[in-house]
Amino acid sequence: MIDNKQHTNSYKLLVLGIGLFLTACSSYDIEKEQETETVIQSENVQQKPNQELIVIESSSDTLSRSIEADAEEKLLNNVFTSVAPSVVHISIAKQMDSTDNPRFPEGFGFGIPEEPDQFFQRGEGSGFVYDKQGHIVTNYHVVQDAEILEVSFMDGLIVRAKPIGGDPDSDIAVIKVDVDQSLLFPVNLGNSDESFVGQRAITIGNPFGQTWSLTAGVVSAVGRTLQSGNSPFSIPEMIQTDASINPGNSGGPLLDSEGKVLGVNTMILSQSRSSSGVGFAVPVNIVKMVVPHLIKTGQYVYPWLGVTLNNISLDVIQAMELDIKQRGALVIDVIEDSPADNAGIISSREFLDIASQNIPIGGDIVVGIEGAEVKTTDDLISYLVKYTQPQDSITLRILRENTVIPVDVNLEPRP
């Protein structure tokens, strides 16, 4: 306890979180079942339990009790202390043509000083140290087309970085810094296949340039499939969280309660471009799959089937006279000369007009792949990404005219 002899009626309390705004986060009731404090250790920091009692300054004569940080607060502080030295702030600059400048519409030049033909657009994001060789993982959209890359570490070190590789389909990129290995503290990678709804989710990043900020929440959903925004292909098994993610958090880690990386914070759903409690992270198991190839070759090559899919809705079930319990991925389009086209997979050729919407019906329905059941389009996309390679031969189970048939397909690299 801190003693202040000059103010006998005053007391001081160490407050763990002081900020410009207070964010409502999920809370947890820590009962007697957790009698020992979780202490997270890494090769860069060993956090010891803080048993010191510190009290809040008060002018009240009646307030005289000491308040100790609870287990939740200690856990979050331990995660931050352990992982923050592994998180970096990334500043970028890329050259833009004046025709790309959105400030003035085309032809709007009256009274405006002549602009240069080119200018630099600046941005920022987050990332984390992947290994002792200086590789840093971030989002593809953070460093895309960057001509200047600057990386800042928590200890104040600022260095230039160079791009190593990028994958627009998963929105993952790798950059590299040339610094002494003793200054690099790689993160510990978790297992996103073990993520579950309600799991504690913690982010460390640089929202709106506010460096090394921590937010906490829970895993709201798992298994989301969303387009990265950089390509027409989707990222499977994304992790949804209500932990606050804002511009500047992109590329930073989503962590579990042990400080292990669950995913890479990538996008939010929001009408205001700021956190609305619906954020998404690329699962770390995709990162484990993609990053080694980016380091080695600069790119990652996915297998390609060549179809557009829809889940089966009630309208489709009724129009195609399917069993009410039927599940699968409806093929609504097949790309010409694709592996699916060469295998004879049939796309939807009829449309159902319901509530001013044209709903495709009548195509093949994929119900299985290589012995695995396909209930939704997510199942098929996830299996292709995680368990197949270009040039693989696979067998799909197709429901066609109420009969399930096997169809062999030779996969190719994505175009």
Crossing angle of helices 284-297 and 377-387, rounded to 10°: 40
Q: How many Å apart are CA 167 and CA 19, to the nearest integer?
A: 35
pLDDT of residue 27: 35
pLDDT of residue 139: 97
Are residue 357 and residue 396 in the same domain, yes or no?
A: yes
Q: How many Å apart are CA 225 and CA 367, to the nearest integer?
A: 18
Q: From the candidates 126, 228, 250, 347, give the one annotated as an active-site residue.
A: 250
Alpha-carbon distances of 52 from 12, 14, 69, 197, 250, rounded to whole Å? 12, 10, 9, 34, 36
Confidence tier at 228 by pLDDT (50, 70, 90): confident
Residue 390 has pLDDT above 50, yes or no: yes
Instruction: Among 291, 314, 333, identify where a domain stops.
Output: 291
Between these two residues, 3 and 291, which has the higher pLDDT value? 291
Are residue 244 and residue 282 in the same domain, yes or no?
A: yes
Look at 1-5, 176-180, 294-298, 358-362 and tell me which has the smallest mean pLDDT.
1-5
Q: From the candidates 89, 91, 126, 171, give the one annotated as an active-site residue.
A: 171
The partner residues of 122 in beta bridges, in order of sequence, read 93
Are residue 333 and residue 231 in the same domain, yes or no?
A: no
Are residue 163 and residue 234 in the same domain, yes or no?
A: no
Q: How many Å apart are CA 410 and CA 415, to the nearest integer?
A: 15
Residue 118 has pLDDT above 70, yes or no: no
pLDDT digits (tens, 9 = 90+) for 323-372: 999 999 999 999 999 999 999 999 998 888 887 778 888 899 999 999 99
Q: Domain for residue 14, yes or no?
A: no
pLDDT digits (tens, 9 = 90+) for 58-67: 455 555 556 7
pLDDT digits (tens, 9 = 90+) for 241-299: 999 999 999 999 999 999 999 999 998 887 666 677 799 999 999 999 999 999 999 99
- Which domain does 206 fall in, by range? 192-291
pLDDT of residue 25: 36
Between these two residues, 11 and 397, which has the higher pLDDT value? 397
DSSP codes of every residue in 87-115: EEEEEEEEEEEGGG-TTS-TT--TTPPPP
pLDDT of residue 117: 54
Are residue 245 and residue 280 in the same domain, yes or no?
A: yes
Alpha-carbon distances of 138 from 135, 167, 232, 281, 340, rounded to whole Å? 10, 11, 20, 11, 33
Residue 373 neighbours by CB under 8 Å, 6+ apart? 367, 379
Q: Could you tell me the pTM of the whole model?
A: 0.77
- We report the CATH number of the domain holding residue 253 as 2.40.10.10
Are residue 155 and residue 204 in the same domain, yes or no?
A: no
- We report the CATH number of the domain holding residue 333 as 2.30.42.10
The total domain count for the chain is 3
- Give me the chain's average pLDDT, please: 83
Alpha-carbon distances of 25 from 234, 242, 243, rounded to whole Å? 29, 8, 7
pLDDT digits (tens, 9 = 90+) for 84-111: 999 999 999 987 665 555 554 444 444 4
Are residue 359 and residue 325 in the same domain, yes or no?
A: yes
Quick check: 16 and 69 in contact, CB under 8 A? yes
Active site residue 250: yes
Are residue 286 and residue 309 in the same domain, yes or no?
A: no
Look at 29-38, 99-108, 386-395 and tell me which has the smallest mean pLDDT.
29-38
Between these two residues, 198 and 97, which has the higher pLDDT value? 198
Are residue 332 and residue 284 in the same domain, yes or no?
A: no
pLDDT of residue 101: 54
- We report the CATH number of the domain holding residue 93 as 2.40.10.120
Q: Domain for residue 71, yes or no?
A: no
What is the SS3 assignment for 241? strand
Q: How many Å apart are CA 91 and CA 311, to the nearest integer?
A: 40
Q: Domain for residue 146, yes or no?
A: yes
Quick check: 298 and 182 in contact, CB under 8 A? no
Instruction: Among 238, 260, 291, identify where a domain stops.
Output: 291
Are residue 166 and residue 201 in the same domain, yes or no?
A: no
Q: Domain for residue 275, yes or no?
A: yes
Q: Domain for residue 61, yes or no?
A: no
Are residue 331 and residue 368 in the same domain, yes or no?
A: yes
pLDDT of residue 12: 37
For the chain, state the CA radius of gyration: 26
Are residue 279 and residue 215 in the same domain, yes or no?
A: yes
Across the range 35-53, mean pLDDT stands at 42
Quick check: 252 and 241 in contact, CB under 8 A? no
Residue 177 has pLDDT above 50, yes or no: yes
Q: Domain for residue 136, yes or no?
A: yes
H helical segments located in 179-337: 284-297, 314-319
pLDDT of residue 333: 95
pLDDT digits (tens, 9 = 90+) for 124-146: 999 999 999 999 999 999 999 99
Instruction: Among 163, 183, 203, identify where a domain stops.
Output: 183
Q: Which two tokens stand for residue 200?
A: 């504690």
Q: Domain for residue 404, yes or no?
A: yes
Look at 89-98, 176-185, 301-310 and tell me which has the smallest mean pLDDT.
89-98
